[in-house]
Amino acid sequence: MAILEVRDLRARYYAIGPDILKGISFSVEADDFLAIIGPSGAGKSTLIRCVNRLVTPTGGQILFYGREVTRLHGRQLRLLRRDIGMIFQEFNLIDRMSVMDNVLSGRLGYTSSLRSLFRAFPRGDIQHALDLLDRVGLLEFVDKRADELSGGQRQRVGIARALMQNPKLLLVDEPTSALDPKISREVMALIKHMATELKVPCLCNIHDVQLAMEFCNKIIGLQDGDKMFDGPTGEMDQTKLDEIYDMEVL
């Protein structure tokens, strides 16, 4: 059963501007690690951000466990975002805060305003954060400020923070673009391992085709807002890749 269904999705950034997404449809199953690939400007990040409504679509439907996402506002939208974790391209950490506090910020949607203000998280949340930091290999950095970490370490904090939400879906937006090839592969392997272990489906926007082919079971290929490919990774070949990246200027 699909936990996410996207139907004829359209999006633009200006009322009279061109469509960034031009009628995109696809689905995400419970065990999917699905990659979105395509040249720069193809609409990959826009597509990811429409799912949790960081970008508001101009047309189409997004169904998350059968619920129409595009109609949600206010409290209902906040509740939706609790169920959808996100790992960001530029880590999106608060530099002056400790690693532990950054990870605990993944529970803000479940915590009262007063508790949040004084960082008074329940004991269970603190233990969960410690467990996640141990799994991503950062337990010894609990009290370090985020701006004292390397790029790979910062992304590991971002992974732990997203999983701290206990999400039902994980959105991953260019998680390796700021990392060198060796660290990029380690980060993708970690995301795949954690998602599989915790049974969280992933929708991953990624520019590195080789990483997509290595770690993802399905691929969507975008070009200038149009869907050029949608299928199992094993069906992707060089001819299809050439079609997807035909318009990219190298």
Write the pLDDT tens digit of every residue in 16-26.
Answer: 888 999 999 99
With cut-offs at 50, 70 and 90, classify the pLDDT of residue 120: low
| Residue pointed to by tokens 């990774």 | 233
For residue 7, list its beta bridge partners.
61
For residue 28, list its beta bridge partners.
4
All domains in the chain, ordered by first residue: 29-56+72-244 (3.40.50.300)
More confident of the two residues 156 and 116: 156
Alpha carbons within 13 angstroms on the beta-carbon side of residue 201 total: 20
The answer on pLDDT for 36 being more than 90 is yes
Give start and end residues of each alpha helix (H) in the chain. Answer: 44-51, 74-82, 99-104, 113-117, 123-135, 151-164, 181-198, 209-215, 238-244
Determine the Cα–Cα distance for residues 146 and 100; give it in Å rounded to an integer: 9
Give the rounded percent of residues in the chain with a pLDDT score beyond 90.
78
The answer on pLDDT for 137 being more than 90 is yes
Sign of CA dihedral 56, 165, 136, 170: negative
The answer on pLDDT for 117 being more than 90 is no
The answer on pLDDT for 210 being more than 60 is yes
What average pLDDT does the segment 149-155 reach? 93
What average pLDDT does the segment 145-165 reach? 94
The answer on pLDDT for 246 being more than 80 is yes
A 10 A CB-CB count for 69 gives 22
The answer on pLDDT for 88 being more than 90 is no
What pLDDT is attached to residue 115? 53
Write the pLDDT tens digit of every residue in 179-200.
Answer: 899 999 999 999 999 999 999 9
Sign of CA dihedral 185, 190, 106, 166: positive
Q: Please, are residues 204 and 79 in contact by the beta-carbon 8 Å criterion?
A: no
Determine the Cα–Cα distance for residues 137 and 230; give it in Å rounded to an integer: 34
Greatest C-alpha distance within the chain: 56
| Average pLDDT over all residues of the chain | 91
What pLDDT is attached to residue 121? 76
Determine the Cα–Cα distance for residues 138 and 206; give it in Å rounded to an integer: 24
What pLDDT is attached to residue 9? 97
Q: Is 81 exposed, middle or buried (0-12, 13-18, 19+ CB in 10 A)?
A: middle
